[in-house]
Chains A and B, each alone.
Chain A
C-alpha cells in the first residue's frame, strides 16, 4: 500500500507547515515567528502511533515508521534546515502578464483599524508632576477599489473633551480620498496633513525620540498641522517624491509671541478660504537610510481683519540618516509674517492688547542617536537633541524682541522597545532663554507609546 504511505506522509508535512503559508487572497501572513516545529513533531508522532494501531499492513507501516522517525529525529536535532525549507509552501508568485490594469483586482475592503497612543508623566521643575494621556488616535481606511481609497485619523488629546477653555481636543486629523491615477500624479482631497517637516507626517510614538515632540515642531511648525484642502502627490523617479496642496490658511488672530504658530491652524472648523494657502514638499528617499526634504507654506492669513493684508510664509529643510546603529536627524524652519506690524496695530486698537507678533520666527534642531543592539525583537536607543527656537527672531520696525522667547533646549533621553511597536521613553529637558528676568523650567518626562 505505498500510495497510502505517501499520502499519509504528505498530510503530515502539510500539517507541519500550514502555519507558514502566505495566503494572497485573504492577505494573511506568513507566521512571523517561523515554522512551528513543535507542532510538527507532535503531528508526526501522533500519526505514526495512529497508523501503527489502525493499519495492519507491515510494509506500509515499516516505511512510514522509518520516514517519520527520520524526519522527527532531524527536526529534533535541527540539523536539516533544508528539509524545513523544502517543506515550506513556496512564496506567492505574481506573473506580470496576469496583473490587471482595469482596477478590478481588489474589490472594496475596509480596515483593519490601526492607531497609536501616547501616555506621559511630566515633572517640570518646581511644579507638581502630571499624568497625561496625551494622545489616543485611531486610523481607519477603506479601499473602494485599487485606485480610490479613504483614510481617516481621529484623535483625542489629553483624554477629556469639554467646552471650557482648558480642555482636551477631539480632532479629525486626516480624512481624505485618494484618487490614484499613476505613480507620478495622484489626487487627494479632504482633511490633509500639511506636508511640512519631519514630525507632522510621521508622528507615531515609536518613530521619534523623546517623550514630547521637538519644540521646533510645536511652535515654529505647528504639528499636528492639518486642515481642509486638496492637491496632488506622486513620485518623480530616482528616489524623488513630492506633495503639493491647496489648503485653508492660518489665522493671524491666533499667532502669539510665545507659542508662534502653534494655535493658528483653522483645523477644518468652517475654515475661511477667502484666500487659500499653497504648500508643498519635495523629498529624496533614494539612498538606503537617508531622507532629505524641503517644504514650504505660503498663504494669506488676515481674513479676520478688515483692511489689513498679511501673509504667512514658511520654508523648511530637514534630513534623517541612519546607518547601522547610528542615526542623526535635523530640521531648520523659518517663518515670515508679512504685515506683522499691521496685525499688531489692529489687535491693539480692537482688543487693547498688542500680541507682539514677530515678522520672522526661526528654529532648528540636531539630534544624533544610537541604537547599540543588533536588530533584535527587543531594542534600546539613546539620543541627545539640541534645539534653538526664537518666536521673535525679527520684529517689525521700531519694536524690540523679548529675550524670553529666544530659547534653546538640550534634551537627553533613552527609549526601550519591548516590541518594535511599543516604546518606553524617558528624557530630561534643559530649557533656557536669553532673558535675565524670566526663568525656564527643566523637566523630567516619562512616556509610554504604542502603535498597533
Chain B
C-alpha cells in the first residue's frame, strides 16, 4: 500500500516537474506586440525585425476599409475590420530565421497589390 502511495507521489512529482519545465521554457520566449495600421495602400510599419524565438502578436487596425493580413507561404489570413470597428489579431511564432512577406489579402482598391510588408527574423 505504502509502495503504491510512493509510486503515485513520484509520478505526480514527475508530472509537476515536467509542467514546470514546460512553463519555464514557454515564458523564456520573448513575446512582442506589434501594432500595425492598415490604410489604402500601406501597412505602417511595413517592416518588422525580431529575434528568432520571439512570439509576435500582430494587432491590426484599419484607418479606412476592410483589409486582409496574410503571411505569404502560410494559409493563415485575417480580415482587418473597417475603421472604428476594432482590431484583428494574428500570432507569428518566429521560430526560424529568414524574411517573411505579409500582404493585404482583401481587395481594397486600385493600389491593393502594393500593400505589402516584411518580417525579418534574425538569429
Which residues of A approach B to under 8 Å, CB–CB? 22, 24-25, 27-30, 32-34, 90-101, 105-106, 112, 114, 116, 139, 141, 146, 149, 151, 153, 173-174, 178, 183, 193, 201-204, 206-207, 233, 235, 237-239, 241, 243, 285-289, 291, 375-377, 379, 419-421, 451
A314 to B90, CA, bound (A): 43
Task: Report A372 CB to chain B, min CB distance, Å.
Answer: 14
- In the complex, are the beta carbons of A201 and B73 less than 8 A apart? no
A201 with B110: CB separation less than 8 A: yes
Contact A92 B90 (CB under 8 A): yes
B118 CB contacts on chain A under 8 angstroms: 183, 235
A149 to chain B: which residues have CB within 8 Å? Answer: 113
Taking a contact as CB atoms closer than 8 A, the residue among A29, A97, A116, A238 that contacts B95 in the complex is A97
**Cβ contacts under 8 Å, B110 to chain A:** 139, 153, 173-174, 193, 201-204
**Would you call the interface of chain A mostly helix, strand, loop, or mixed?**
loop
Q: Which of A24, A237, A375 contacts B76 (CB 8 A)?
A: A24
> Nearest Cβ in chain B — how far from A333, in angstroms?
19
Residues of B near A174 (CB, < 8 A) are 110
CB-based contact B74/A99 at 8 Å? yes
- Least CB distance from A25 to B in Å reads 6
B40 touches A92 (CB 8 A): no
- Pull 11 A–B residue pairs with CB atoms less than 8 Å apart, ordered by A: A22-B88, A30-B78, A33-B85, A92-B78, A99-B73, A100-B74, A139-B110, A174-B110, A204-B109, A235-B117, A376-B84
Nearest residue (CB) in A for B71 is: A94
The reply to whether B64 and A207 form a contact with Cβ atoms under 8 Å apart is yes
B42-74: which residues lie under 8 A (CB-CB) from chain A? 42, 44-47, 57, 62-66, 68, 70-74
List 11 additional A-B contacts (Cβ < 8 Å) besides A96-B95, A237-B47, A239-B45.
Answer: A27-B77, A32-B79, A34-B86, A91-B57, A204-B109, A285-B42, A287-B44, A289-B44, A377-B82, A420-B84, A421-B65
Contact, CB under 8 Å: A24 / B77 = yes
Question: In the assembly, what is the distance between CA of A29 and CA of B62, in Å?
Answer: 14
B73 touches A100 (CB 8 A): yes
Query: With an 8 A cutoff between CB atoms, is B11 at the interface?
Result: no
The reply to whether B82 and A105 contact each other, CB–CB distance below 8 Å, is no
Q: Which residue of A lies closest to B102 (CB)?
A: A94
- In the bound complex, residues from chain A placing their C-beta under 8 Å from that of B46 are 235, 239, 285-286
Residue on B nearest A289 in the bound complex, by CB: B44
**In the complex, which of the residues A99, A116, A202 has the most CB atoms of chain B within 10 Å of its own CB atom?**
A99
Contacts of A178 in B (CB 8 A): 113
Tell me whether B65 and A451 are in contact (CB under 8 A): yes
Check A93–B84 contact: CB distance below 8 A: no
Q: Hey, which chain A residues are within 8 Å of B101, CB to CB?
A: 183
B14 within 8 A of A: no
Q: Return B26 CB to nearest CB of chain A, in Å.
A: 14
Give the interface centre of A25, A153, A375 by most chain B CB atoms within 10 Å.
Answer: A375
CB-nearest residue of chain B to A113: B107
Distance in angstroms between the alpha carbons of A266 and B100 in the assembled complex = 39
B8 proximal to A (CB < 8 A): no
Contact indicator B93/A93 (Cβ below 8 Å): yes
Decide if A32 touches B75 in the complex (CB within 8 Å).
Answer: no
- Using known A-B contacts A106-B75, A241-B114, A288-B37, determine if residue A91 contacts B84 with beta carbons closer than 8 Å: no
Instruction: Please measure, in the bound complex, the distance between the C-alpha atom of A29 and the C-alpha atom of B95, giving whole angstroms.
Output: 26
Report B-chain residues with C-beta under 8 Å of the C-beta of A238. Answer: 47
Given known contacts A141-B107, A375-B84, A105 and B75 CB-to-CB distance under 8 angstroms: yes
Question: Is B89 touching A96 in the complex (CB atoms < 8 A)?
Answer: no
Is the beta-carbon distance between B76 and A92 smaller than 8 angstroms? yes
Task: Let me know if B82 and A91 touch, CB within 8 A.
Answer: no
**Bound-complex Cα distance A98 to B92 (A):** 11
| B96 CB within 8 Å of chain A | yes
Given contacts A149-B113, A235-B46, A241-B114, contact A30 B82 (CB under 8 A): no
CA distance A189 to B116 in the complex (A): 19
Q: Given A33-B85, A238-B47, A93 and B98 touching (CB < 8 A)? A: no
- A140 nearest in chain B by CB position: B107
Give the shortest distance, in Å, between B3 (CB) and chain A (any CB): 30
B64, closest chain A residue (CB) = A420
In the complex with contacts A24-B76, A146-B73, A94-B111 CB distance below 8 A: no
Beta-carbon contact of B90 and A91 below 8 Å:
yes
The answer, among B74, B98, B109, for a CB contact under 8 Å with A451, is: B109
Q: In whole angstroms, how far apart are the Cα atoms of A29 and B97 in the complex? A: 29
| Minimum Cβ distance to chain A for residue B89 (Å) | 4
Interfacial chain B residues near A237, Cβ < 8 Å: 47
A203 to B41, CA, bound (A): 11
Expressed in whole angstroms, the Cα–Cα distance for A376 and B77 within the complex equals: 25
